[in-house]
Chain A
Amino acid sequence: MKRAAPLTAEINLCRVALLFVILACLQAVDFAHSDEADSIWVETKWPFLMDQWGEGRSFQCKAADCGAELDLYIRAKIGFCSNTTGVADDDELERLSDFDFMKGQATALGSGREIDIAGMKGRLRAYAIASPILSQTYAFSVAFNSNSDALVATVAVKGGPPAAMEPVIIQFLNGKTIRRWVTRTLGL
């Protein structure tokens, strides 16, 4: 048994080492890009009528999963962005934005901010939405670009506060579902 003890210790050491390797591997996995991060979002039917930009994709996240009910609409606007300056400021963000999807009068809640989505530079801005038929809601407009092609996401928020929703939205936009769609849509 004297010889078995070191053997057991070696096995345990190996187990610990293996655990570290597994943990290291798990840490290396970017959860933001995993399917798990996307799983709380359910794809829904595109709810808007045809317009010049055509249809995009529509997703919903329930309040129980995201802290507020979120409806996210994203679509490409091919050739509509400056390939030299990108989504440089709030003027450009608003020029690209789908305000009609916000279902009410939008008032900006401060300035927008720069973000990185799917490896692209973009901008995000929050709005308060006033509507005669809906209770107080919020919305986000997010736009990012690849050369002259813009991707524009509009997120309607039922409940709040909107600041708490930002990380959830950015995480989803950086997830596999959207990345795959962007790659396919823009032919990247």
Chain B
Amino acid sequence: MTRLQRAEIKKINFSRGAAVVMALLMGGPALAGSQKIGDPPESSNMRLVGLNDLQGRSAYQPTIHHQGDRWIAYIGHHGGTDAVPKPVNPLTGQSEFNGTSIVDVTDPAHPVYLRHIPGQEGTYEAGGAQMTRVCDGKDLPKGDPSAVYLLRTFGGAAHEIWNVADPANPKLIIRLEGLKDTHKSWWECKTGIAFLVSGVPNWRVRRMTEIYDLSDPAKPVKIREFGLPGQEPGSTGSVPTELHGMISTGSAGNRVYFGYGTNKGGILQIVDRDKLISGPKEPTPENLRFPVIGEMEMSPLNGAHTTFPLGKMAIPNFSKDKFASQRDIVMIVDESLVNECQEGEARQMVWFVDATVEKKPMVVASYSVPETSENFCERGGRFGSHSSNESMAPVFYRKLAFVTWFDAGVRAIDIRDPYHPKEVGYFIPAITATTDKRCIKVNGQDACKVAIQSNNVETDERGYVYVVDRANTGLHILEMTGPARAIAGLPEN
């Protein structure tokens, strides 16, 4: 047991005692489930290893990169808040618009904040630099072998590429700008092909796909624009659901899984990558359909924020079947947008899709956090899924999936049988003095609560889980314990 863990346990015991004393002083127990500063984190089969407050910035996407003999976390941020639009960077003493945090997590118990790269001016979703992807120059076909490249968004207006070979001193290489709403892109490090979530003017949606050859990041070459028919310039009538993001399986897998919609009108689109890159490029309805293999329209009540391909999986219950005992599985994660389960949104959750017959994918299972056990709808902020880890490293791939659930923290799901996924662990970080409030309107007045808002999660090859908070609480580095750890094949801790 490390000093940090002992300190954490002492803190938990002290906090429990303090909570009992407070409850007695207040004349009764606190509202079940609500979080208070000083409360311990809530967990099952997951344990806190280390944390960093990320300078109190609202966090979106973390990418964990093995960089030489170090492990570096690149974490995207939303813009600041109304109260603190431009937080102070203690490293520089300057107020800086939220951008990208660079944290050395080589020792996960003692993460070291290296650098903050400021992002676009603006608060909440209007500013910051939400997305991060990282490729080594030595992997890219025409990259500088000594470079490490960070691809990030700059607010909604641009994509940027930085050289982060020295992560404490990043250098801007290029900016692709003039866009309406950039978001969560995908970059193949072996080929350099990048699928950028952009908003090209004249397209009828804020987010669509630009495909670039970034094999030489200093000289981007645009290949084409892509989207659903009806979104392209000049089309009329209803505008199909706009893009959220995509994941490519590269030239070997030859598939790109596009997810359209966040919390509504979800569409999973399975695309032939070669045809997408090499096919006719003019964005006509015919050309946009040309590379498409299959599409699945979800219930309009749910979106497709993350479409994570799990590839071919042996289904335990089909093991004796002579035909189709292996299934091609895609995990879809919706995004909840609405605070405290209010009007305008149905429950957002996780769906498992059997895409063995790619033209006709079908949902075969779902997973959702039980709400009533902890009154998650009333804790504050959003309750529902947001995103999963996207690492395909063997330690967790096809075994455990991690999904952030806003006020319900991060959930660990045993996906070895994707027809019957089950929760095997969770971690809900404690709130701190920097955790921001979330409000709903009650009789025209703001009614605000402070609750954790676990937003994104990523894993590394070592088996650490990195969860970041939308409500400014920072980065929590976790490890699995007990039976959940055994599923990953990790040694006992």
A residues lining the B interface (CB < 8 Å): 51-54, 76-80, 82-84, 91-92, 94-95, 97, 99-100, 105-108, 149, 183, 185-188
B444 contacts the other chain (Cβ, under 8 Å)?
Answer: yes
Please determine whether A99 and B237 come into contact, CB atoms closer than 8 angstroms.
yes
Find chain A residues with CB under 8 A from B238 CB: 97, 99-100
**Can you show 22 pairs from A to B with CB atoms below 8 A apart?**
A54-B344, A78-B337, A78-B343, A78-B344, A79-B263, A79-B337, A79-B338, A80-B264, A82-B206, A83-B125, A84-B122, A84-B126, A97-B238, A100-B238, A106-B236, A106-B237, A149-B344, A187-B343, A187-B440, A187-B443, A188-B441, A188-B444
Contact A52 B264 (CB under 8 A): yes
B58–chain A nearest beta-carbon distance, Å: 15
Is B417 located at the chain interface by the 8 A CB criterion? no
For B, the interface residue count at a CB cutoff of 8 angstroms equals 28
The answer to whether B442 touches A83 (Cβ under 8 A) is no
The contact of A52 among B206, B239, B265, B337, by CB within 8 Å, is: B265
B300 close to A (CB within 8 Å): yes
* B86 vs chain A, min Cβ distance (A): 16
State the CA gap A172–B205 with chains docked (Å).
30
Point out which of A94, A99, A187, A188 has the most chain B C-beta atoms below 10 A from its C-beta. Answer: A187
Please name 14 further chain A to chain B contacts, defined as beta carbons within 8 Å, in addition to the given A105-B236, A187-B441, A187-B444, sorted by A numbering.
A52-B264, A78-B337, A78-B338, A78-B345, A79-B338, A91-B204, A94-B204, A95-B206, A95-B239, A97-B238, A107-B236, A183-B444, A187-B440, A188-B444
Give the shortest distance, in Å, between A131 (CB) and chain B (any CB): 13
- Nearest residue (CB) in B for A127 is B236
Report if B225 contacts A (CB, 8 A).
no
Q: In the complex, which residues of chain B have a beta carbon less than 8 angstroms from the beta carbon of A106? A: 236-237
Q: Which residues of A contact B469 (CB under 8 A)?
A: none
CB distance from B163 to the nearest CB of A (A): 31
Residues of B contacting A185 in the complex (Cβ-Cβ under 8 angstroms): 343
Query: Are B345 and A79 within 8 A (Cβ)?
Result: yes
| Nearest neighbor of A77 in chain B, beta-carbon distance | B344
Q: Are B338 and A52 in contact (CB under 8 A)?
A: no
Q: By DSSP majority rule, is chain B's interface helix, strand, loop, or mixed? A: loop
B interface, CB within 8 angstroms of A: 122, 124-126, 204-206, 236-239, 242, 263-265, 300-301, 337-338, 342-345, 440-444
Decide: A51 near B344, CB < 8 A? Known: A82-B206, A95-B206, A105-B237.
no
Query: Which residue of B has the minimal Cβ distance to A102?
Result: B237
Task: Give bound CA distance, A95 to B242, whole Å.
Answer: 9
B313 to chain A, nearest CB (A): 30
Min CB distance A76 to B, Å, is 6
Counting from the closest, the 7 A-B pairs by CB-CB distance are A78-B344, A187-B441, A52-B300, A52-B264, A99-B238, A84-B126, A79-B337
Q: CB-nearest residue of chain A relative to B199?
A: A91
Closest residue of chain A to B240 (Cβ to Cβ) is: A95
User: In chain B, what residue has the closest Cβ to A187?
Assistant: B441
Complex Cα spacing A38 to B345, Å: 30
Q: Is A76 a contact of B343 with CB atoms below 8 Å?
A: yes
Give the distance to chain B from A94, nearest Cβ to Cβ, in Å. 6
A78 to B345 CA separation, bound complex (whole angstroms):
8
Chain B residues lying within 8 Å of A52, measured Cβ to Cβ, are 264-265, 300-301
Instruction: Determine the residue in chain A with the shortest Cβ distance to B263.
Output: A79
A13, B344: Cα distance in complex, Å: 58
- Cβ contact within 8 Å between B239 and A94: yes
Q: Determine the distance from Cα of A80 to Cα of B75 in the docked complex, in whole angstroms.
A: 26
Among residues of B, the one whose C-beta sits closest to the C-beta of A79 is: B337
Q: How far is the CB of A126 from chain B (nearest CB, A)?
A: 14
What residue of chain B has the Cβ atom nearest to residue A50's Cβ? B300
- Taken together as a complex, chains A and B put the C-alpha atoms of A52 and B236 apart, in Å, by 21
Question: How many Å from the CB of B208 to the closest CB on chain A?
Answer: 12
Bound Cα distance from A79 to B342, whole angstroms: 11
Q: How far is the CB of B191 from chain A (nearest CB, A)?
A: 33
Complex formed: what's the CA distance from A105 to B237 in Å? 7
Docked CA distance A185–B442 (Å): 11
- Residues of A contacting B301 with CB < 8 Å? 52
Which residue of chain B has the shortest Cβ distance to A185 in the bound complex? B343
Residues of A within 8 A of B345 (CB): 78-79
B236 adjacent to A76 (CB under 8 Å): no
- In the bound assembly, the distance between CA atoms of A49 and B343 in angstroms comes to 18
Task: State how many angstroms separate the Cβ of A35 from the closest Cβ of chain B.
Answer: 21
Instruction: List A contacts of B264 (CB < 8 A).
Output: 52-53, 80
> Taking the nearest CB of chain B, how far is it from the CB of A24, in angstroms?
30
**B239 and A83: CB pair below 8 A?**
no
Residues from chain B with Cβ under 8 Å of A97 in the complex: 238-239
B325 to chain A, nearest CB (A): 36
Q: In the complex, are the beta carbons of A51 and B300 less than 8 A apart?
A: yes
Residue numbers in A under 8 Å from B204 (CB-CB): 91, 94-95
Instruction: Report A48 CB to chain B, min CB distance, Å.
Output: 12
The complex places the Cα of A107 from the Cα of B236 at a distance, in Å, of 8
For A78, what are the chain B residues with a Cβ–Cβ distance below 8 Å? 337-338, 342-345
Whether A76 and B344, one on each chain, are in contact in the complex, defined by CB atoms closer than 8 angstroms, is yes
Cα A94 to Cα B232 with chains together (Å): 13
Query: Closest CB-CB distance, A117 to chain B, in whole Å?
Result: 19
Min CB distance, A143 to chain B, in Å?
Answer: 12
Question: Shortest Cβ distance from A151 into chain B, in angstroms?
Answer: 12
